[in-house]
Structure 1
């Protein structure tokens, strides 16, 4: 039987909530599906990038240009998200950007020219980035209305989307299906399901402090900035696994190509599993302790990656690193979104903007340093990032009091 209850409206505190029905189970399911979409879309295009490259006859430099185009338009989307959400609401933004991202994905898959592929990557970049902000805003709204902690669960579905994309992409590539057909088969059912469930997305809310801030200016509180920088560090550490993990195993640890390909899959699976228990841990021990403890675990994992010569011990160390990093970003989004001083969309977009910026800057910087030294020494950057994240977590504990 569907669980339904009505939330009371308090004049001057909540905006546009005079009467709506909150469906705890269906709203949670809807958030889970929307969180799955960007992980699925991104994972699909990355898993079939060789097929896209062959179909459009792209060089390595043009592939780099496509990825840069997606990242650049992603930053534009992140910058414009708060204003658009403030104007039409995160519910509408979620539905529109899900369609835009899916259209961009399919455009990439069926294109045979450089210009068309670039347009597809641009659409994916702006669609996924705005989808990211809107879905995290909805996650914050769900936590408020349900009076529960669910952000780690939602981000687990993002990881699940990446895992599903990898598996589906592998099967379709083995079956020699074109990238375009692969993208339609994998994305259409989830896109249609998310649009069918959109009625269970939640309306915006604003506190009195948020209303006053929105009428004056959006001065980002120090607390939000610290959350954003920590998300940058966590995303960059995760990005180092996806960008350099396989290469590190095959070139430095002398693993086979097949073993090297397991790195990101194992990391993502552990991240998914850890996020399923992240919210109960937040409830039991508190948000800051979970971040601090996660930073310590991820640091230990990265030390193992750099120290062990055994390929299997390195894989286990990457898994430990994923275990520690898993609850950090979802918890930061949750804490930032419910700050009460600026709207949730402005807070989550600030965190997302910094996090995506980290992905654009840090992994390439590791490559630059590796070019001038070696990849093993370059990955010590990741240790520094995690150590800084731990230090900022201690600062965040003081700011949160």
Structure 2
């Protein structure tokens, strides 16, 4: 999917303002994901769910995302990123505020479908404009945009850790977070560049073939691991390590902070470390961090382990997207779009998969999948990136 071209009258000032608006949107997206993440134990307790039922609720979110992704190119292509971001931001905030409002499990499933669908459309719309801004600025900006997502995750998780200690209840936290996020989204939409919709620019969801298939698989595995941290890290510390709610929320915050730091430094690192070596190191570091969190029973070890996972995963997507853009005979935009689609599906499908494993074994065993996926990334990196002529 490509966005409509910017107006020729766009000035440097408007481009700078739009870039900061996009940073705000990515920050809000990360904060809302974190708000859901820190309240996974709350949702589980509120509805009286086991791991399997909780995993099915997460799967409902994945189904909403899959349906939305199948039409994302058409929707954003027709209406433009600014309008889609405004409308999806409204619905996404409504879904977050409603997580604990429904009395029945069926209501939660409907809310999660809305959450997954609106989050994915919001993500596609802001990434579409981010790509155009980066093109117009003629310098790397994407890592910085995605770093703001991680920073938002850290702030959202930090708020989830502090507010219970101050006597703020879960529903009030969700409502306040959603209201503040909506104000930020709409304020940022006002500064987004006027990229008019174009129905002829719509493309359906595409899946990778040939060399792109392995790159897409690695992206999916990396994002499964990332999604596992979003949805299960807090519950792991609370349930498996018997941490209180404030300390458990810091598990998500430590992961997000480390990922943000890795992404803010991402362009500098990628300029100095070869892609294959960087991806191998990233996979090994993520596997080491997850192993530390799972094998050492002290809660601080979990915080350190989650931070290492975040640092290890921080540059996986930029490396793989760069490789996808250099496949011979494949347009860069198509390569990135195909890998992005599979990767996002992995991010949405991974947490329910881990939940199903946890239901039949334990959450520790379920999160052990992250170790296996990270090791596979490290082992498969040379073949994947050489196939893309990315070495």
TM (norm. structure 1) is: 0.77
CA contact (8 A) 2:61 2:112 kept: yes
- Structure with greater Cα Rg: 1
Task: Return closer, same or farther for 1:88/1:45 CA change in 2, 3 Å cut-off.
Answer: same
Unmatched 5+ stretches in structure 1: 1-12
1:272 paired residue number: 260
**Is residue 2:48 matched to residue 1:59?**
yes
**Is residue 2:14 matched to residue 1:28?**
no
Distance (whole Å) between structure 2 residues aligned to residue 164 and residue 83 of structure 1: 33
Distance (whole Å) between structure 1 residues aligned to residue 317 and residue 16 of structure 2: 24
Deviation at 1:99, TM superposition (A): 1.4
1:154 paired residue number: 145
SS in structure 2 of the partner of residue 384 of structure 1: helix
SS in structure 2 of the partner of residue 108 of structure 1: coil
2:64 aligned to which of 57, 64, 73: 73
Query: Aligned pair count?
Result: 376
1:3 paired residue number: none
1:124 aligned to which of 115, 135, 146: 115
Distance (whole Å) between structure 1 residues aligned to residue 66 and residue 3 of structure 2: 30
Distance (whole Å) between structure 2 residues aligned to residue 116 and residue 313 of structure 1: 37
Unmatched 5+ stretches in structure 2: none
Task: Return closer, same or farther for 1:317/1:50 CA change in 2, 3 Å cut-off.
Answer: closer
RMSD across aligned C-alpha pairs, in angstroms? 3.9
Distance (whole Å) between structure 2 residues aligned to residue 78 and residue 364 of structure 1: 23
Q: Which has the higher contact order (CA 8 A, sep 6+)?
A: 2
Deviation at 1:81, TM superposition (A): 1.2
2:271 paired residue number: 283
1:364 aligned to which of 341, 351, 355: 355
CA contact (8 A) 1:143 1:149 kept: yes
**Is residue 2:310 matched to residue 1:318?**
no
1:348 paired residue number: 340
Task: Return closer, same or farther for 1:142/1:359 CA change in 2, 3 Å cut-off.
Answer: farther
CA contact (8 A) 1:136 1:348 kept: no
1:133 paired residue number: 124
1:8 paired residue number: none
Moved more, 39-48 or 122-131: 39-48
**Is residue 2:88 matched to residue 1:97?**
yes
Distance (whole Å) between structure 2 residues aligned to residue 344 and residue 375 of structure 1: 33
Report matched runs for 1:2-401 at 5 Å: 16-17=5-6, 19-21=8-10, 23-48=14-39, 58-60=47-49, 63=54, 65-112=56-103, 114-198=105-189, 199-201=191-193, 203=195, 220-241=208-229, 245=233, 255-258=241-244, 262-285=250-273, 287-305=275-293, 312-313=300-301, 315-333=303-321, 336=324, 339-340=331-332, 342=334, 348-361=340-353, 363-364=354-355, 366-367=357-358, 370=361, 375=364, 380-401=368-389
CA contact (8 A) 1:44 1:169 kept: yes
TM (norm. structure 2) is: 0.78
SS in structure 2 of the partner of residue 60 of structure 1: coil
